[in-house]
């Protein structure tokens, strides 16, 4: 049988108009979203601070958008599972042509029962009353929501830490380039002075040749630093989800690196503050619920139903739907599983073993978090010592350079000694910046290990 559907012109116009309006609404929403996103991005083009970068990343990072979608999917899964508590209404239809009518024997006489053609159109509503599956779905809903919220929080924490490290890395690069530029200015001045002394015959050409070599080396170092800075900006863009081709400028006002390095090292580790621990605890509760569900499988399943059927019977197919013989019924259905080959017992034991395994996972996670915190704290303290040492060396090398420069101008020290002190100064300055970034990075690692990273902006 082929079923043909014809749509009138009026209905076609209504469908076309609905599609047109829907496309307009979608287009308007997309345009508004693009405008908002463009306005947000424009803010980052103009001296964005660390807080603004983090705030933007928390709204636009791809992993966070995916986590939010996963949360919506979870809500749909919960709604789908709980929908079983609502009445389930179904419709069915059948059309039968009996090639040979069934014969039955009544009181010793054979007679045909039924009609050659019959058709039934039925409606039935089922309502679950006792159902282990629905009990489990009802109790598991809060744990699914909790797990999805924890997944989002974990992604937010990683976003804050990653963006902060990238920002500090760029700030360190900017300071490095500033130092190299200052060195280039200083070396250019020394090269000019050495060249002037050579031309006046006071010294040979070795001094200004050495000055040229140092200047070339520092210039090459500046080029490498600029290339590294470009990559670091691109990496930051990838973290906050803006195109690599888009320009971005950062504000470093009131962002002294030294002012951000201090940390309360006496704060105690509370493993329960870690999102990973909370996630595993939630998983343990879900597994306990699964064990309970396996025990619920011994329960009977009880439901109510109501149906209404339209019965059509006739020996002539053309007159089949001329008369209707309706029927209707309401009732309760009860099923009780008696023996399933020990499957339920095995499933209960399996679920209990999985509970035990999660307990060991929690213990293992506690050990890992403790070790992670210990490593982060050791790294922070070590980096703090390195930073203090680098700071002192920088101050000393600066003092030595200034003294030797005065002595060189007075003709007491050689140019080689001046170059050596200048090279030491540049090295200690760069070591100081690297040590400072290492301290900031390890501080963020400690905050993450403690579970104290602030994710609200």
Q: What is the pLDDT of residue 254?
A: 62
The alpha helices in 200-318, defined as continuous H runs, are 206-240, 275-296
In this structure, is residue 2 part of a structural domain? no
In this structure, is residue 210 part of a structural domain? yes
Together in a domain, 190 and 228: yes
Together in a domain, 295 and 223: yes
In this structure, is residue 38 part of a structural domain? no
In this structure, is residue 1 part of a structural domain? no
Together in a domain, 196 and 151: yes
Together in a domain, 149 and 235: yes
E strands along 98-222, which residues?
103-106, 109-112, 117-130
Q: What is the pLDDT of residue 244?
A: 86
What is the number of structural domains in the chain? 2
Q: Which residues contact 141 (CB under 8 A, 6 or more apart)?
A: 78, 81, 82
Together in a domain, 387 and 325: no
In this structure, is residue 31 part of a structural domain? no
Q: With a cut of 70, which residues of the chain have pLDDT below it?
A: 1-46, 202-203, 254-255, 457
In this structure, is residue 204 part of a structural domain? yes
Closest CA to 296 of 137, 59, 182, 91: 137
CATH number, position 308: 2.20.200
Together in a domain, 251 and 330: no
Together in a domain, 357 and 371: yes
Together in a domain, 326 and 393: no
In this structure, is residue 36 part of a structural domain? no
In this structure, is residue 39 part of a structural domain? no
Together in a domain, 310 and 433: no
**Cβ atoms of residues 272 and 67 within 8 Å:** no
pLDDT tens-digit map of 35-45: 445 555 555 66
Domain coverage including residue 327: 88-129+303-335
Q: What is the pLDDT of residue 373?
A: 95
Of 335, 357, 391, at which residue does a domain stop?
335
Together in a domain, 111 and 230: no
Q: The pTM is what? A: 0.80
Q: What is the pLDDT of residue 20?
A: 45
CATH number, position 243: 1.20.1600.10
Of 313, 335, 357, at which residue does a domain stop?
335
Q: What is the pLDDT of residue 15?
A: 42
The alpha helices in 99-131, defined as continuous H runs, are none
d(CA 395, CA 401): 10
pLDDT tens-digit map of 396-423: 999 999 999 899 888 888 888 888 999 9
Together in a domain, 249 and 175: yes
């Amino acid at each position: 049988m082929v079923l043909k559907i014809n749509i009138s012109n009026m209905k076609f116009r209504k469908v076309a108009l609905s599609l047109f309006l829907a496309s307009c609404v979608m287009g308007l929403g997309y345009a508004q979203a693009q405008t908002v996103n463009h306005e947000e991005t424009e803010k980052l083009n103009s001296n964005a601070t660390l807080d603004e970068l983090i705030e933007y990343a928390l709204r636009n990072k791809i992993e966070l958008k995916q986590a939010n979608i996963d949360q919506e999917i979870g809500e749909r899964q919960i709604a789908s599972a709980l929908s079983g508590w609502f009445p389930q209404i179904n419709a069915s239809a059948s059309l039968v042509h009996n090639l040979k009518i069934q014969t039955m024997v009544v009181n010793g006489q054979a007679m045909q029962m039924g009609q050659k053609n019959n058709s039934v159109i039925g409606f039935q509503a089922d309502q679950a009353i006792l159902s282990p599956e629905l009990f489990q779905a009802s109790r598991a809903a809060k744990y699914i929501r909790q797990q999805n919220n924890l997944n989002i929080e974990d992604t937010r924490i990683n976003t804050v830490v990653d963006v902060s490290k990238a920002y500090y890395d760029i700030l360190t690069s900017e300071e490095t380039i500033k130092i190299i530029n200052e060195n280039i200015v200083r070396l250019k001045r020394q090269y000019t002075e050495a060249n002037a002394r050579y031309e006046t015959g006071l010294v040979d050409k070795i001094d200004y040749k050495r000055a040229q070599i140092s200047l070339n080396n520092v210039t090459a170092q500046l080029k490498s630093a600029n290339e590294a800075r470009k990559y670091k900006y691109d990496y930051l863009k990838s973290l906050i989800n803006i195109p690599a081709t888009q320009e971005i400028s950062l504000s470093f006002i009131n962002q002294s690196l030294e002012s951000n390095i201090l940390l309360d090292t006496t704060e105690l580790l509370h493993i329960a503050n870690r999102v990973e621990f909370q996630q595993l605890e939630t998983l343990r509760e879900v597994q306990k619920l699964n064990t309970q569900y396996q025990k619920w499988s011994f329960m009977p399943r009880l439901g109510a139903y109501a149906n209404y059927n339209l019965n059509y019977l006739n020996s002539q197919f053309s007159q089949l739907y001329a008369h209707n013989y309706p029927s209707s019924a309401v009732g309760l259905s009860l099923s009780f599983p008696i023996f399933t080959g020990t499957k339920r017992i095995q499933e209960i034991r399996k679920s209990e073993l999985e509970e035990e395994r999660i307990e060991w996972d929690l213990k293992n996670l506690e050990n890992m978090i403790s070790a992670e915190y210990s490593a982060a704290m050791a790294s922070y303290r070590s980096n703090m010592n390195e930073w203090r040492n680098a700071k002192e060396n920088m101050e000393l090398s600066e003092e030595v350079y200034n003294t030797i420069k005065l002595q060189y101008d007075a003709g007491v020290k050689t140019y080689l000694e001046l170059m050596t002190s200048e090279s030491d100064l540049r090295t200690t300055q760069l070591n100081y910046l690297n040590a400072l970034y290492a301290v900031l990075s390890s501080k963020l690692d400690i905050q993450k290990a403690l579970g104290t990273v602030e994710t609200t902006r």
